[in-house]
Amino acid sequence: MTKTSTLLGKPLSRVDGRLKVTGEAKYAAEFNVSGLTHGCVVSSAIARGRIKKLDTSAALAVPGVLHVFTHENRPRAAWFDRNYQDEDAPSGSPFRPLHDDELVYSGQPIALVVAETLEVARYAASLVQVEYKTHSHETDLRARRGKAYAPREGKGGFEPPPKPRGHADKALAHAAARIDAEYSSPVEHHNPMEMHATTVVYEDDGTLSVYDKTQGVMNTQKYVSKVFHLSPDEVRVRSPFVGGAFGSGLRPQYQLFLAVMAARELKRSVRVALTRQQMFTFGHRPTTLQRVALGVSAEGKLEAVIHETVSETSRFEDYIEVIVNWSGLLYQCDNVRLDYKVAQLDTYTPIDMRAPGAAVGVYALECAMDELAYAAGIDPLELRLKNYAERDQNEDKPFSSKELRACYQQGAERFGWARRTPAPRSMREGKQLIGWGMATGVWEAMQQEASAKAVLSIDGKLIVSSATADIGTGTYTVMTQIAAETLGLPVEDVTFKLGDSSLPMSPLQGGSWTVSSVGSAVKEACEKVRERVFELARKVKHSPLAKARLDEVSFDGGHIRSKEDPSRAVSITEAMRHGEVLHIEEQTVSLPDKHKQSAYTLCTHSAVFAEVRVDEDFGTVKVTRVVSAIAGGRVLNPKTARSQILGGIVWGIGMALEEESVLDQKLGRFMNHNLAEYHVPVNADVQDIDVIFVDEEDTIVNPLGAKGLGEIGIVGVAAAIANAIFHATGKRVRNLPITPDKLL
């Protein structure tokens, strides 16, 4: 970065904010073309079995219905290799919509009715008659835990649990104090505001313009071209705005397949938008059953950590996430045994949801740490400080940076932790039981290969682009800042483009890696432009910078200036005019510096403090205060960064108290598939939230020093709340969500 850093670190408001609040921002189901047709999905009512008979005649008889696609008439060509895996696919065979008569989960798409209008399509879909041959299904993880196995690896980034170190079971038996408990977390669904939808515009030349709700246009493009045997130039995918996704848009979903299939077959433009109910039919955060056993010495030193988890997957893919590894990383302990298994259920494959693995695994560990603190008679924060990990013992590596101590210290001070009285039920106010709890959070700081293009025009305007996404994360804004900063331009002169597969390659937006990956590419592309414009500036006739070197100048306000004598300056426009250059274009591919990074463990951390008030008579819980102190490297935009963390904390409140997709085991079906019965926090549930970013310098993670903040916000929140509830009530509820009935 230039020395005269003005933009990075500033709380710039979203550059796309106006578009979003005025409705000008268009989402996948809002791109209209003349002659657009509408597809409505018919979903399976049983969890396992076969379609004996599908009668579509009544649907086809409705005026305006164009076609009803089923497994019996789907185009034969439209299929792909069972081994094809999208960028976020776990190992196994991906689900193939309308492939045959086999039913593998409740809610599975079994027909697509396409009509001239949405109303006709929806009505006709209700007339499709299905006869099932029902087989018995198994959807209860507790009943299936005996069948659990170590999943096949395959998904990029998945790390199996490290080998045991020391003798955890023996150390546990000899510990001065110990706890051994089972925790569980339920299925959750992402429930973004925008429902999944795809609009396929069938162009005159037969190519497809696809508007898809996705976290990765390139992933969608690859999927469509692979499945439908098209060349990538025949499929252009756009997703300029996404109304929340949280992981649900990482994999291509069935509405994409169905819309493309119908458009190709009918040679018409087709939109398929899922209903809120159907949002519960393509992936979820899986149920976990977790045993955590911890032992501590009389001095408060952690002697044993055992964390065993059974989670769920489908019959056709091995969904895996990193749930237990954090327990070997977060605290110093020489005796650790971690185990992770999955059991197959007759459901769709789970899919990543914000901080996949960590959100649930750290929840269990951090509740167990709280229980251990009580068992040992040590303050919960003190216990964590006593066992602070200076190194990652899983990998035997140092951390690239770790300001978790500062998080504990600053968070505790802001919260007022020192005023806590340790005994449960000791802080009541009338009928209200007040509780204070805390927990640690951790997530990875990852970087992926990404590319970006920067085009500087003679009028001083800069356009930077990359095929990444902005799922509400603030990507448009932060990339604009990085670009403007690097070339010293006012933000108004910089445009960042994303969400288009014709732009330079980018990975999925996920894993909290976008700033790190795409941001590095944007920075590099703009640095190359800088070099070129500087060369032109030196060559201007009688240039005051003729003898200057690049490191002796700064870029600001559209000028290149000598740092020593700012009056010696050349404007960008002047340099380009003199060089007779209308545009300077540079494209770069930015790769993580694996050599540099591999010697370290790269993580973000947090310390979360929560206050709850529990009504003694009703068992209702209000989270009245949350203080979250985050160590996430350099914060490029404190405003969008804070919003990320706020969102994570609000979700943590939901995870602790409300969210649960309830599956009727007899039907094998999620029953509360709507926002009336699937509870998420509303404004009244969200009170005082305070976010602190502690200073953290990191030169290893990437050239920007930013670690990514998309996921760390949720990690630890549910545990801090659960621990606060114990402090308030003396009741330890180990099964999320902690609903009032569990407290009475």
Q: Which is nearer to ligand MOS, 219 or 601 (CB)?
A: 219
Position 263 contacts ligand MOS (CB under 6 A):
no
- Distance of closest approach, residue 512 Cβ to ligand MOS, in angstroms: 7
- Of 138, 188, 212, 352, which one interacts with ligand MOS (CB under 6 A)? 352
- Of 511, 519, 619, 654, which one interacts with ligand MOS (CB under 6 A)? 511
What amino acid positions are annotated as catalytic residues? 711
Stretch that binds ligand MOS, among 64-72, 132-140, 311-319, 350-358 (CB under 6 A): 350-358
Give the C-alpha separation, 82 to 98, whole Å. 14
Query: What's the longest Cα–Cα distance across the chain?
Result: 86
Beta-strand pair 462-465/494-497: parallel
Q: For the sheet containing 102-103, what is the strand order? A: 102-103, 49-55, 129-134
- Distance of closest approach, residue 193 Cβ to ligand MOS, in angstroms: 15
Position 507 contacts ligand MOS (CB under 6 A):
no
Quickly list DSSP for 244-310.
--TTTTSS--HHHHHHHHHHHHHTS-EEEE--TGGGGSS--BPPEEEEEEEEE-TTS-EEEEEEEEE
Identity of the amino acid at 546:
A
Binding mask 224-253 for ligand MOS (x = CB under 6 A): ----------------------xx--x---
Give the C-alpha separation, 737 to 302, whole Å. 28
Give the C-alpha separation, 580 to 366, whole Å. 63
Q: Which is nearer to ligand MOS, 24 or 159 (CB)?
A: 159
In sequence order, the 6+-apart residues with CB closer than 8 A to the CB of 678 are 189, 191, 280, 659, 660, 661, 672
Position 470 contacts ligand MOS (CB under 6 A):
no
Residues 209-228 that bind ligand MOS (CB under 6 A): 215
Position 518 contacts ligand MOS (CB under 6 A):
no
Q: Which is nearer to ligand MOS, 380 or 510 (CB)?
A: 510
Q: What is the DSSP letter of 69?
A: E
Q: Which is nearer to ligand MOS, 138 or 194 (CB)?
A: 194
Q: Count the site residues for ligand MOS by CB under 6 A.
A: 10
Give the C-alpha separation, 635 to 9, whole Å. 6
Backbone φ, ψ for residue 171 (5° rounding) = -65, -35
- Distance of closest approach, residue 355 Cβ to ligand MOS, in angstroms: 7
Q: Which is nearer to ligand MOS, 543 or 604 (CB)?
A: 604
Give the C-alpha separation, 549 to 529, whole Å. 15
- Distance of closest approach, residue 470 Cβ to ligand MOS, in angstroms: 12
Quickly list DSSP for 79-146.
---TT---TTPPEE----TTSSSEE-STT-EEEEEEESSHHHHHHHHTT-EEEEEE------HHHHGG
- Distance of closest approach, residue 362 Cβ to ligand MOS, in angstroms: 15
- Of 356, 619, 647, 716, which one interacts with ligand MOS (CB under 6 A)? 356
What the block records as the tokens of 221 is 């493009």
- Distance of closest approach, residue 615 Cβ to ligand MOS, in angstroms: 34
Position 353 contacts ligand MOS (CB under 6 A):
yes
Position 510 contacts ligand MOS (CB under 6 A):
yes
Q: Which is nearer to ligand MOS, 269 or 313 (CB)?
A: 313
Report the alpha-carbon angle 706-712-717, nearest 5.
Answer: 150
- Distance of closest approach, residue 83 Cβ to ligand MOS, in angstroms: 23
Report the alpha-carbon angle 287-98-58, nearest 5.
Answer: 115
Q: Which is nearer to ligand MOS, 322 or 584 (CB)?
A: 322
Q: In this structure, what is the dihedral angle of CA atoms 624, 634, 406, 727, given to the nearest 10 degrees? A: 20
- Distance of closest approach, residue 131 Cβ to ligand MOS, in angstroms: 38
Beta-strand pair 109-115/65-69: antiparallel
Q: Which is nearer to ligand MOS, 392 or 711 (CB)?
A: 711
Position 354 contacts ligand MOS (CB under 6 A):
yes
Residues near ligand MOS, by CB under 6 A? 215, 246-247, 250, 352-354, 356, 510-511
